[in-house]
Structure 1
Amino acid sequence: MTERLRIAVIGYGTAGQALAILLTRDGHEVEIFERVPTPGPVGAGFLLQPSGLQVLWQMGLLDAVRAHAAPVHRLYGDTPCERAVMDMGYAGLDARLHGLGMQRGALFSLLEDAREGAGHLHVGTAIEAVDSAQGRVRDAQGRWHGPFDLVVAADGAASTLRDSVEGGTALDRVYPWGALWCLLPAEDWPHMQELRQRYVAARKMIGLLPVGTRPGDATPRLSFFWSLPRDDFERWQQEGMAPWLQELHALWPQASARFAHLVDAGQLARAVYRDAVMKRWHHGRLVLAGDAAHSMSPQLGQGVNMALIDALALRDALRSHRGEAALQAYQAQRRAHVAVYQRWSRWLTPLFQSNGDLWAHARDVLLGPMGRMPGGRGHMLRVLSGTQHGWFGALPLDPGFIAALAEAPRAAASSSAISAAVNVPVT
């Protein structure tokens, strides 16, 4: 039997939502603290990899997710002269595997429904400090909450709480490059099963990812992003839309019909990224999860997937161990998976987002041949799919999950059916 704990979860993004669902299902008393008054999704869209999809399958949510997501079988990137730089398909790893492009709003809504009101959600409550010895948390009004048996900081890439893990931070810096992003109607876009990117050296990158629909909106959409140095955000806005749109159409005329929907700077949100490496993920009763534990460049698209895996790993550690031993087991399991992605992300980012023309030239010359070397393509596809574990291992995928992913999508289950399915403990 799992020991019943009183647990605080700080942050209600993907990691916080998944933790709230999994921990309350195991009988723990969970309180969630979210700083914004009205929680909602942050971001346009993302690519769910097999690693993250397996967690959603174990949670009983795969059919509900597939009802709104767009299957993605290929990742393709080229230059304005249509010279291929990257061409990778999941079939090279396993013909039954693929990713799912999804709107953040869709996943947020599905996870919120799956929580079914379990746990107590404190909205508009920013947590500024954690007493890791006593398991108490202090909000911005100076009120203390707790004590809790466990405090999980899942407050995102810009976490203000990761420093509470004494001696834990090895690196915490903001990347010099960010992005502009928004959702656009897909309409007759011909590449509805592919992530498409276009590169101008490493200085410019445009991307279009099919992300399906969301509850309440049946319009299939694309997630659009434009890479931009953080220091250029203000200049971009001051110069106005006209010169930027002219450049956009010139660089990717094949996508011009999609870009016709970009008419106002207010449509586009800004994203900045951090690189945070922790020597330790826990201290006393405090433990980190999601981007708070391991934020990285989105170049490999693993953020949401890592958050889901963290939540499942912490639940499993609490099932098998008690006290600090559970947190040590969780950290040991996750660091072996996360470390290689942080390193690859750090190395790859200058190849796609920098002023380094030599880096971009090396990328264009070497990326294709590396993917054709013995063992090279398999390694690259495991990194892509989120299943690389350490430098030489592979994260196992359950045969039942692979079979479920290969099946034709079924209609989304009703709320009662999902509730009945997901309350069966998964071992």
Structure 2
Amino acid sequence: MKIAIVGYGTAGQAAALFLARGGHDLEVFERSEALRPVGAGFLLQPTGLRVLADLGLADAALANGARIERLHGVNAAGRRIMDMCYADLAPDLFGLGMTRGALFALLHDACERVAMIRTGTAITALSTDGRSLTDAGVGRHGPYDLVVVADGSHSSLRAQAGHVARDPLYPWGAMWCLLPADDWPHAAELRQRYDGTRTMLGALPVGRRPADGARRWLTFYYSLPGAEIDAFDAGALARLHDDVQRLWPELAERTRTLVEPAQLNRARYRDVVLRRPWRDRVVCIGDAAHGMSPQLGQGVNMALLDAQALADALDVQRGDVAAALPDYARRRARHVAIYQAISRWLTPLFQSDHAALAPLRDACFGPLGRLPLMRAQMLSILAGTKRRWL
């Protein structure tokens, strides 16, 4: 088939690699003039690592990432709120912190060999039958046998490609940056600090960037209301330093290098729900189909799983698009729905103006996490392996 992929993030890259196995003719459209990663470092879960293994990229990912064995979080009083170790779910499980640049480079090196990549081409519209694309310069592309929409949570095509139930911006987001990980004592842990529901700090080891040789990095993030992210200035940076010094002096030694607001990047999230992720010959994958808060760290993993499932459905249905797209939607529906619901429920406990939720969170999370049944459920959610409510 002749297939167009709109968007060259993780979802679009992975879709190109999986679909190339079927011998399809692939054309990828990316709005940016230069190909580059977008977004903070992330935690690749065991589910995502298995997808990379299927692509033959797991060893390269492990060489560039940082093995994460534990999630640990405490509140301003030092009370332990989160303490989860992957090995408590299964001895061989772990997560992998990575920079976006490292994963982007791994996927791009493989994609260049299997797809035509058109940069500086912002696709703005789909034809009525979903077989052709129009770009911002009113150029027309197609027809295609299948169009894969993978242009992220702020997708410009989602409303034309799927049946949108909701896609509001979350009221909170985060500022983030990379910090040198030299001598960081928690090299295998995602660490967080919470002060009520309004302040959350995090430090995630993410391994190497392609251009930095052996140097390793941390992703630092700091949650803020959306309006404060949009207006982040020198005064906001001073408040960030005060919060870090008060809650996490150990980390403050590293954040002192942040002297300009421009050294931090902005991240906003959407809560995207589609009644179904396809119509005619168009299908949405990744954040374009199910954007969510990063509270569970599942965005990249979901994108990889979507790409794999779409290619599998096309193979099983022998290229019959009319049968394959509903099959793809069924394969992913339950898993996606569970994580969207849990993310929507958890986010206000950590990023919101609902101050009354913090005492409830602080009183319950630690004790519940020590009960064997609840601990197993929480670890399954963290690892990305939960596919049923019960």
Please report the TM-score for the alignment, with normalisation by the length of structure 2: 0.97
1:301 to 281, 297, 302: 297
| Comparing 25-34 and 363-372, the one that deviates more | 363-372
Give the secondary structure class of the aligned counterpart of 1:389. Answer: coil
Residue 66 of structure 1 corresponds to 62
- Mapping of residues 44-123 of structure 1, within 5 Å: 44-123=40-119
CA RMSD of aligned residues (A): 1.3
**1:234 CA drift (Å):** 4.8
CA shift, 1:235, in A, is: 4.6
Shift of 1:79: 1.7
Code of the residue aligned with 1:336 in structure 2: it is R
Alignment correspondent of 1:278: 274
Q: Is the 8 A contact 2:126 2:134 kept in 1?
A: yes
Identify the match of residue 316 of structure 1 among 298, 305, 312.
312
Aligned to 1:363: 361
Which residue of structure 1 aligns with residue 217 of structure 2?
221
Contact 2:165-2:273 at 8 Å conserved across structures: yes
Q: 1:9-48: CA deviations, max 9, x gaps?
A: 0000000011111112321000000001002111120000
Distance apart, 1:215 and its partner CA: 1.8
SS in 1 for 2:92: coil
Structure 2's unaligned 5+ residue stretches are none
Q: Identify if the C-alpha distance between structure 1 residues 34 and 141 changes in structure 2 by more than 3 Å, giving closer, same or farther.
A: same
Which 10-residue stretch deviates more, 256-265 or 185-194? 256-265
Q: Secondary structure at the match of 2:233?
A: helix
CA contact (8 A) 1:185 1:222 kept: yes
What does residue 418 of structure 1 align with? none
Alignment of 1:200-239 (within 5 A): 200-217=195-212, 218-239=214-235
Asked if the contact 2:241/2:252 (under 8 Å) is kept, the reply is: no
Offset at residue 203 of structure 1 (A):
0.6
* Higher mean displacement: 102-111 or 364-373: 364-373
Alpha-carbon contact 1:132-1:284 (below 8 Å) kept:
no
Question: Percentage identity across aligned positions?
Answer: 52
Q: Tell which deviates more after alignment, 288-297 or 369-378.
A: 369-378
How many residues were matched structurally? 387
Report if the CA contact (8 A) 1:132-1:285 is conserved. no
Give the unaligned 5+ runs of structure 1: 393-427
- Structure 2 SS opposite 1:170: strand
Is the Cα–Cα contact under 8 Å of residues 175 and 265 in structure 2 kept in the other structure? yes
1:171 alignment partner in structure 2: 166
Contact preservation (8 Å) 1:339, 1:390:
no
Shift of 1:290: 0.3
Letter in 1 for 2:123: I
Whole-angstrom CA distance in 2 between matches of 1:78 and 1:389: 28
Determine the structure 1 residue equivalent to 2:347: 349
Cα deviation, 1:71-125, whole Å, max 9, x if unaligned, reads: 0000000023321111111011001100000000000001011224321111000
